[in-house]
Amino acid sequence: MGMKDWQETSGSRDWARIAYWLVGGTLLYNVMEGVIALWAGFAADSNALIGFGFDSVIESAAAGVLLWRVTIESRGAPPETVEHVERRSHRFIGITFFLLAGYILIDASLTLIRQQPPAESLIGIVLAIISLILMPALAYYKFRAADHLQSQALRSEAKETLACSYLSFTLLLGLSLNMIFPALWWADPAAALLMVPWLLREGKEGVRAE
């Protein structure tokens, strides 16, 4: 192995370790976020918060699979092994996009049909603000790591992190408007539905491992 090849391999392992900590941090945060959101959601009888908690569970599954993928590369696995795991991870993350789209479509539609506004929840608002600050930063560095590792699976997971940012925004919007302007309760589910076509497209590309 020449000096250039060694440097490229070493750099790839460094970025794989960075990706490991990024994805591991996302997994840990999503687990805590899910527990808090579900607890607060059931306490306030808020469908928006309960759904947000289940979304965190879906994203935790995606992060867990991707953690397996970057762990293998960071340990210096052969390229063919990394490529095999990359394809499997990409497909699994594609499935989680479909699950997320399905959840949003059903939950938002039922909310609009029942005309059921999200309940007031200060904990939910704080949680949404934290996620709205943290998730875009995580997604940015995941995109950088994905470029260095040439990993479409990591790039897809970064997009799912961005989707969490969008859902955090809609949750914050819905809970805040419900407290200030109760008549605008429909803004939360309507904004969430706008994301469904994008999620379906990303899920389709992921399942095809494109």
Could you tell me the domains of the chain? 10-207 (1.20.1510)
Q: For residues 193-205, b (16+ Cβ closer than 10 Å) or e, as one string?
A: bebbeebbebbeb
Cα 112–183–174 angle (5° rounding)? 65
- Report, in angstroms and rounded to the nearest whole number, the Rg of the chain calculated over CA atoms: 18
pLDDT by residue for the chain (210 residues), tens only, comes to: 443 443 344 456 778 788 888 888 989 999 999 999 889 878 876 767 777 888 788 888 888 888 887 788 777 777 777 788 778 877 888 888 888 888 888 888 888 888 876 666 788 889 989 999 999 999 999 999 889 888 887 888 888 888 888 888 887 887 777 777 777 777 767 777 877 888 888 788 777 765
**CA-to-CA separations, 24 to 32, 63, 68, 155, in angstroms, rounded:** 13, 7, 10, 15
List of long-range contacts for 161-166, beta carbons under 8 Å, 24+ apart: 161/26, 161/59, 161/135, 162/135, 162/136, 163/97, 163/100, 163/195, 163/199, 164/30, 164/55, 164/56, 164/59, 164/131, 164/135, 165/131, 165/132, 165/135, 165/136, 165/139, 166/195
Show the tokens assigned to 71.
């762990």
Q: What is the pTM of this model?
A: 0.74
